[in-house]
Structure 1
């Protein structure tokens, strides 16, 4: 494109006036052209002239005028953009992929969080594991021995197993009081099993269960 050709050019090659009287109100000139190519290119160029009111008196006027608006530069920019995309189609592919990945990421975060093994699942699982471990034989609760009634342990193993004299049949390993005022004891029965039994305030056994068999120690 020749450098001496402007996009908008007003040419008045010949003008002669014997007498001219001109009254113009609200003369506006705009250059505008809206050209858009996806999200890659947006251009505004063009020409727009508006006059609200003109009062002109001319005597003996000879004039020539030419208004030239060239859009070759705009067309060249669009052409270069299309040519670049045509030669490098991965530009559009990457642009569309970036949008797809953005939407996919938002949905993927929530989906992954609620899937098995996700953040929510692991959090609940961890809390459950802690509670489950605590109530298992040898867990935190099992290893915490109450002192109500003056019962004491003779010895405690590294895995929470009671050793020595405490494992004799009839030995009371622990004694606590629950929220209902009932006494919860762990004792060794005649077979060597550790039994958890619940007693009322009069000492009557309400329930009992084996929490650790003799052969598992």
Structure 2
């Protein structure tokens, strides 16, 4: 941009932030000159013409640089506390883990027959019955390390005051498929024996009616036998 006033030529930088005055004959028409604009910092080159000046380019002034935000420091990832040591069990014994409610029901309580059935079907010393710990982390450690062959729990919905059953079912559900398929999960509660919807909802292999204890031992034995007889989903078929 240029404008003649009183024999001088006012030349304005394309950025609009600075104007300089040129003498009528300096530079002469057809000559080129340059200046550095103190406003935008750009080096501007122009040619003197009969009517003013023509800049070599009409570049717009550079956009002001936006400050680059400093990334927030990464939050340290909290490491989960290590699991406790597994509960000691007799060496070489297959394991049954139980989570039946703590009730002072004595030998005639609703869950006592199921414990007696366990002792009948899975006797020591070949088997060991391990009651689930009140500590969910201890339950997780015992399930991961011991890999029980059978888990017997009461329906968590019927024993809301006792979180052991839910913790034990959750620990079993977190096992790798190859380990989980060899484990029998039986849940006793106020539902019909073998109810498929109840079993699916609990992640159980079988559900058993808690009040139907006449053949408790036989039903536990049949449930475990059915698991043992199922083909593996993770073992490649031999050709």
The structure richer in strand per residue is 1
> Radius of gyration: which is bigger?
1
Same fold (TM over 0.5): no
TM-score, length basis structure 2:
0.26
TM-score, length basis structure 1:
0.28
The structure richer in helix per residue is 1
